[in-house]
Structure 1
């Protein structure tokens, strides 16, 4: 059975661990992680695959350890919370540069998490007090295009909205990575 290695990166407190625990069916108290591993069997086109999922810690304390989980990664999920502008900015300032440095040819998806909080009145009040607003789907798509992500997807671990789609798209990206070979150009002399 072929194994697909998926590594999840992003700031702490963006819902990465909740996303993984809900998808893999693990429930329990969430704790800060250096990295946790999960394995699930998925069927694709009638064939079974093992999806090896590696959760990484987003805190700066783990900046030197985190890349140890990157070798042989087939696809990355770069996560941010749609209600955290700082986590959205760190996609560009930290996460994509980091994975591009260590795994330049590995495809990644940009994942907006915690979408259920876009409609939460308490969350919206807190954002308004700091003169911020939630990241829109359009902004996520635009950033994904700029960073050359395979796709932009959104989800909520709490409501499970879009949850399965995140992993389905990641599996497709791993099995059919984008062509990164330089295109040949015809030169007329």
Structure 2
């Protein structure tokens, strides 16, 4: 069965929050062990939505400041943005409001956003938390509050390493929390 519709999904967020890892795990079920900063990459996945097959074009962008002029070129024609931050990085969480939403609203003001907190496995790792003293950890309540502040259509938390809860990612990309289509 061929895809009946194409959706362009652009992933944005600070460097090293796990955007590329999330996309690789989602499309290939493999967890990459090496960190290689992304300049620009594309992934593709066919997903079933309402009984139809949708081709989900996943555009991976660089979060580093060096690419701030190049990155917006990928926003043209976007149907949805996945705005990622790390659940173990207060700076990446704060940049959602300070950097990413202003950039998205400047270049693509009417495109819906799904907010994604990454590295859920580390937030739940007792050994990691003991080393970090919890100072940078973002709670689910803080993530949900940020979703409301930025007007995101949905908020999810995920772990590329454990692939939880990747199974709900497609439904959150296409449906708002109130049950309506985006």
TM-score (structure 1 length as normaliser): 0.86
- Tell me by how many angstroms 1:125 deviates: 3.3
1:63-119 Cα shifts (integer Å, max 9, x gaps): 000000000100001100100000000001111111111111100011100011012
Work out which of the residue numbers 82, 92, 96 in structure 2 matches 1:91: 96
Matching residue of 1:59: 64
**Stretches of structure 2 lacking an aligned partner (at least 5 in a row):** none
Q: 1:33-112 residue pairs with structure 2 within 5 A? A: 33-112=38-117
Larger Rg computed on CA atoms: 1
1:14-36 Cα shifts (integer Å, max 9, x gaps): 11111100000064555211111
Determine whether 1:127 maps to 2:147: no
1:137-178 Cα shifts (integer Å, max 9, x gaps): 0000011001111011110000011122123211335x922x
Q: 1:142 and 1:86 mapped to 2: Cα distance?
A: 16
Matching residue of 1:9: 12
Asked if the contact 1:124/1:133 (under 8 Å) is kept, the reply is no
Determine whether 1:32 maps to 2:37: yes
Matching residue of 1:167: 170
SS in 2 for 1:93: helix
- Tell me by how many angstroms 1:123 deviates: 2.7
Asked if the contact 2:47/2:170 (under 8 Å) is kept, the reply is no
The range that moved more, 138-147 or 31-40, is 31-40
Asked if the contact 1:111/1:166 (under 8 Å) is kept, the reply is no
Report the aligned-residue RMSD.
Answer: 1.7
Q: 2:53 and 2:125 mapped to 1: Cα distance?
A: 39
Q: 2:91 and 2:145 mapped to 1: Cα distance?
A: 17
Q: 2:9 and 2:143 mapped to 1: Cα distance?
A: 21
What number of residue pairs does the alignment pair up?
174
SS in 1 for 2:36: coil
- Tell me by how many angstroms 1:42 deviates: 1.2
TM-score (structure 2 length as normaliser): 0.89
